[in-house]
Amino acid sequence: MNRRISRPLAGFVLILAALASGAPPAAAGPGGTPRRPEGVVNLLPVPETVAVREGRFRVGTDLAIGGSGSPSGRAFKAAARFMSRLSGRTGLFLKQDFLAAQKPAGQGGVRYSYAREGLLLPTEDESYKLTVEPGGIALDAVSDIGVLRGLETLLQLLSADEKGYYFPCVAISDKPRFAWRGLMIDVGRHFQPVEVIKRNLDGMAAVKMNVLHLHLSEDQGFRIESKVFPKLHELGSDGMYFSQAQIKEIIAYAGDRGIRVMPEFDLPGHSTSWFAAYPEYASAPGPYEIERHFGVFAPTFDPTNEKIYPFFDAFFKEMAALFPDPYLHIGGDEVEGHQWDANPAILAFKKKNGLADNAALQAYFNRRLLKILTKHRKRMVGWDEIFQPGLPTDIVIQSWRGPKALVEAAQKGFQGILSNGYYIDLCQPAAFHYLNDPVPADSPLNDFQKSFILGGEATMWAELVTPETIDSRIWPRTAAIAERFWSPASVRNVDDMYRRLGIVSLALEELGLLHLKNADMILRRLAGPRIKPLKVLAEAVEPLEGYARHGQAAYTSLSPFTRFVDACAPESLPAWRFGKAVDRYLASRDPVTAEELRAILTAWKDNHAAVLALIAGSPALAEIEPLSLGLSRVCEAGLGALGHLVKGEGQPAAWIEEQRKVLAEAAKPAAHAELVVVQAMGRLVDACAGTGR
């Protein structure tokens, strides 16, 4: 499956190996002069092939851009955005009058071309070839969507030297490894208004993702206007839903960025909010209220009620017309079963129809839904649970349970997309998601079967996020997932991914994403204008991983997500860098690294007094005292260990034991978060074992 074919041209310096291995960015030119093709080493996702050659294309105020297609076309609009972003980054007054009157770029500008307008389908060609030469830039693609992908690459290439801004000369040939590179946003549990969706679409486009999957209905909310059944959004949403005009706006915005929008209506479970309007369709008598808590709840559609099928027919007819995407997701996960088991009529129906268990009953329901979807020209997508006997192979399985289910489906001829391992709501490290491959190297599938794995989706489940915090839960980690879906399978250097993640994170800000700046805002609301001590503490703290945070409080869809933990990044890059520095020191005993560690440890340790002063003025901060005290103590332990290591003094087991106790105490969760520098500190402490060296 390794499609990365490198074609070094004469005079080109191939830096692919460096990209994959995370080697330093400097490459030696023919004359031995060190060059710094900065933009090239920052590319994310890494293109299929990149060849660097001598020379720089200078960005000046006379830069022109032009290409094929009409001014109302996708490529033209993307070119306009490209120029605006380039102007924003360089501060240069670029000529952008082409917006009103498009003129072909002469020699010396950016020239793009494509053969045809791309279709928003997983089968579309998104490849492009980008050549930067000192005298001009050429971007050629089969479809205009390929042009979009290439423009993002070009923007990432922007570099600077003492003479100003430039693009390094390169020849890039690029195409995606997977056709389905998605982000699911759950707008059911916490609604996310249009502007949140739009800025995240911009973020997706920046890292070449191409599917926005909107999880539109949940126990906690029905989030789209239905003109056919208006009670659905009127009674099921607390007034927080997308109007159809807004949905059209989102679809157009996504389409301009080469992104499909696939709707999901989670059925037959996860459906309490529907029953606020239509209790008669549930499997137990109502009334029902919108669910405020989180979990798996009993309310479930009654598959034996014949009235639901004309209802779904009319409903999906409306939605099929609204969403142009050929795929429609019917959820299907976590049917809780209590209502079905407690309803004598349903039990009788199962018996009569030879449906052995609830899974069989759900398969029956799905077959009925499939008929309706097919009638309205939609292909059915669903979570693992819909993969049941009796459904044709043209449905698509989205696996949240694991890659095994996907393998099994592919072997039986079903297409699949992977989401297991991409649950970004769980606040796991980017490296974990990054190394999770829809088609891992040890996959038991043959090449034909592998072609059934369309790609994957990061899933932003929304129990614990609000419009204020959602960006920081999605970005920058999702960029690592985007690279997994786009780049060759061999691009797996974790350290280099983290280096580039920091760079792409800053670049994402220009799109309006709030993942960096909202942390400050949340802290200012808690503590007033002086938040430095809280920011220092946040470097060493992350929200509890997995489902652990859910256990810390009875969260509801109305809880405040405005506490210290909500200002902490799911993964602290400073903490990650600290861990790397510890390992580097332990491997090298390099005195410079020792000094670097000492500076960090001292700053963290001394931070506690300042945090205490802030806590005194803000009752909402009281909960973080254990974290701050813990950080101070583990840094004391770390500084002690470092001192011994520098002097080459070994320490007895009792000393190690004592430090370990301090670390264990500090590792306990507090304020729904945890100190994440404890493990690295443990490595420092452990290294003191035995006699000195």
Task: List residues near its own copies by CB under 8 A.
Answer: 77, 84, 87-94, 96-97, 99-101, 160, 162-165, 193-195, 238-239, 243, 245-246, 249, 289-290, 292, 467-468, 502, 506, 509-510, 512, 514, 516-518, 520-521, 524-526, 528-529, 553-554, 556, 558-560, 562-563, 616-620, 623
Check residue 280 and report its DSSP letter: G
Tell me how far, at minimum, the Cβ of 560 lies from its own copies, in Å.
4
Nearer to its own copies, 381 or 565 (CB): 565
Give alpha helix (H) positions in 237-337: 244-256, 272-277, 308-322
Separation in Å, CA 433 to CA 72, 482, 494, 547:
38, 10, 11, 16
Provide CB contacts within 8 A for 154, sequence distance 6+.
82, 110, 130, 132, 137, 139, 167
Nearer to its own copies, 292 or 492 (CB): 292
H/E/C letters for each residue in 474-528? HCCHHHHHHHHHHCCCCCCCHHHHHHHHHHHHHHHHCCCCCCCHHHHHHHHHHHC
Q: In terms of residues, how long is the chain?
A: 693
DSSP of 544-600: PPTTTGGGGS--BTTS---SHHHHS-SS-HHHHHHHHHHHHHHHH--HHHHHHHHHH
What gap in Å lies between CA 549 and CA 673, rounded to an integer? 7
Residues 363, 390: contact at Cβ < 8 Å?
yes
Tell me how far, at minimum, the Cβ of 25 lies from its own copies, in Å.
14
Tell me how far, at minimum, the Cβ of 81 lies from its own copies, in Å.
12
What gap in Å lies between CA 291 and CA 276, rounded to an integer? 9
Tell me how far, at minimum, the Cβ of 218 lies from its own copies, in Å.
15
Residues 92, 117: contact at Cβ < 8 Å?
no
Nearer to its own copies, 68 or 87 (CB): 87
Half-sphere exposure of 509 (CA within 13 A, CB side): 12
Nearer to its own copies, 34 or 344 (CB): 34
| Options 38, 124, 249, 334, the catalytic residue | 334
Per DSSP, the three-state class of 121 is coil
Nearer to its own copies, 238 or 625 (CB): 238
Residues 203, 474: contact at Cβ < 8 Å?
yes
What gap in Å lies between CA 641 and CA 263, rounded to an integer? 54
Tell me how far, at minimum, the Cβ of 531 lies from its own copies, in Å.
10
Is residue 334 annotated as part of the catalytic site, yes or no? yes
**Residue in this structure with the two tokens 């129906």, named with its chain if needed:** 349
Tell me how far, at minimum, the Cβ of 427 lies from its own copies, in Å.
19
Tell me how far, at minimum, the Cβ of 606 lies from its own copies, in Å.
18
Nearer to its own copies, 417 or 474 (CB): 474
Q: Encoding tokens for residue 469?
A: 């915090």
Nearer to its own copies, 171 or 522 (CB): 522
Nearer to its own copies, 512 or 626 (CB): 512
Bond prior to 45 in cis (omega within 30° of 0)? yes
Neighbouring C-beta atoms of residue 230, cutoff 10 Å: 11
**Residue in this structure with the two tokens 């696939």, named with its chain if needed:** 262
Tell me how far, at minimum, the Cβ of 277 lies from its own copies, in Å.
13
Which residues are part of the catalytic machinery?
Answer: 334
